[in-house]
């Protein structure tokens, strides 16, 4: 489904992503783990077309999307939950969700998806008329996920959805991500919360200063000494 080859990203002279190869098969949940500044967000932004890559290829469904305009990608089935949520603070919860459906024309489908998201996150229905900026951090994260789902994605990428949330809310968020995967969604998840991420992942990559240092199945990585020490604190 997603195939990244030899991706290079520079910010001025800083070589943030160095020849990364990464793939996600249809129906898989793949995680990228890594410390602050490893280049995780940069890779996701390159997939979305909002950061320019210096070299490499990114294929989504065998289509080279590297030089595609960012606003055309949603039609390719790409859903994005960005780092820091980036909800619209001055739009209501419902308007935030409807912004996700901007590219769609199937009214009935949109209404059905809205109801489905309200079922996943009942609090969003209660707060549907509240401004996005007045939600709590956890509620904003749910809204960001809901908005991405409103685009009706085939491939969902999430950037640190657990960041800054209380443990109980983190559990709830991961449970939803696991459920989406069970329903057949293909997912690429960036996380620092390695334990939670690995538990719901099929495979994972470990990124260190812009390079893939390790990759493997959930079990392989959980049993890897280095991963246990650095990322799982065991």
Partner 1 sequence: MNGTVLIQSLIGGLGIGSIYALVAIGYSLVYRTMGLANFAHGNILMVGAYIGTVFYVSMHTNFIIAIIISSILIGILGMVMERILRPLGKMDLIYMMLGTLGIGIVLQNLAIIIWGTDGIAVQYPIKNEPWVIGNISISPYTLVIICASATVVLALQFFLHKTKLGLAMRSSAQEKEMSLVLGMNVNLMNALTLGLGSVLAAIAGVMVGPVFYVSPDMSSSVGIIGFAAAILGGFGSIPGAIIGGLTFGVLQTMVATQVSEWSQVIAFVIFVFVLIIKPSGIVGERVVDKI
Q: Could you tell me the two tokens for 164?
A: 């800054």
Q: Residue 55: enclosing H or E segment and its boundaries? A: strand 55-60
Contact of residue 75 among Mg ion, ligand ATP, partner 1, none (CB under 5-8 Å per partner type)? partner 1
Binding mask 72-91 for ligand ATP (x = CB under 6 A): -----------x--------
Does the footprint of ligand ATP cover residue 13 (CB under 6 A)?
no
Question: In whole angstroms, how close is the CB of 98 to partner 1 at the nearest point?
Answer: 6
Element (H, E) at 100: helix 93-100
162 binds Mg ion (CB under 5 A): no
* Binding positions for Mg ion, 28-47, rule CB under 5 A: 41
Of 166-195, binders to ligand ATP (CB under 6 A) are 192
**Which among 2-10, 64-72, 112-120, 188-196 is the span making contact with partner 1, rule CB under 8 A?**
64-72
Distances (CA, A) of 8 to 5, 12, 14, 54, 213: 9, 12, 11, 5, 15
Name which position in 4, 7, 20, 38 contacts ligand ATP (CB under 6 A): 38
Q: Nearest approach, Cβ of 210 to ligand ATP (angstroms)? A: 7
Site string for partner 1, 126-145 (x = CB under 8 A): -----x-xx-----------
Is 150 in contact with 101 (CB distance < 8 Å)?
yes
DSSP 177-231: HHHHHHTT-EEEEEES-HHHHHHH-SEEEEEETTEEEEEEEHHHHHH-HHHHHHT
Does the protein bind ligand ATP through residue 14 (CB under 6 A)? Answer: yes
Interface size with partner 1, residues (CB under 8 A): 29
Contact 56, 11 (CB under 8 A): no
Q: How do beta strands 203-208 and 186-191 pair?
A: unpaired
Which residues of the shown chain bind Mg ion in the complex (CB under 5 A)? 41, 83
């Amino acid at each position: 489904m997603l195939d990244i080859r030899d991706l290079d990203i520079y910010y001025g002279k800083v070589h943030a992503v160095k020849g990364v190869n990464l793939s996600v098969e249809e129906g898989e949940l793949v995680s990228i783990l890594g410390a602050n500044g490893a280049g995780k967000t940069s890779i996701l932004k390159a997939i979305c077309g909002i950061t320019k890559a210096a070299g490499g290829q990114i294929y989504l469904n065998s289509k080279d999307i590297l030089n595609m305009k960012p606003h055309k990608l949603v039609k390719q089935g790409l859903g994005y939950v960005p780092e820091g949520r980036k909800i619209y603070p001055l739009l209501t919860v419902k308007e935030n969700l409807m912004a996700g459906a901007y590219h769609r024309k199937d009214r009935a489908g949109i209404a059905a998806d809205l109801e489905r998201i309200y079922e996943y996150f009942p609090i969003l229905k209660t707060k549907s008329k509240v401004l996005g900026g007045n939600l709590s951090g956890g509620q904003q994260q749910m809204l960001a996920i809901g908005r991405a789902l409103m685009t009706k994605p085939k491939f969902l990428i999430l950037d640190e959805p657990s960041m800054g949330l209380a443990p109980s809310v983190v559990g709830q968020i991961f449970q939803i991500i696991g459920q989406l995967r069970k329903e057949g969604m293909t997912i690429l998840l960036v996380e620092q919360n390695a334990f939670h991420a690995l538990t719901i992942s099929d495979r994972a990559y470990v990124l260190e200063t812009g390079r893939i240092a390790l990759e493997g199945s959930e079990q392989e990585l959980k049993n890897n000494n280095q991963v246990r020490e650095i990322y799982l604190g065991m």
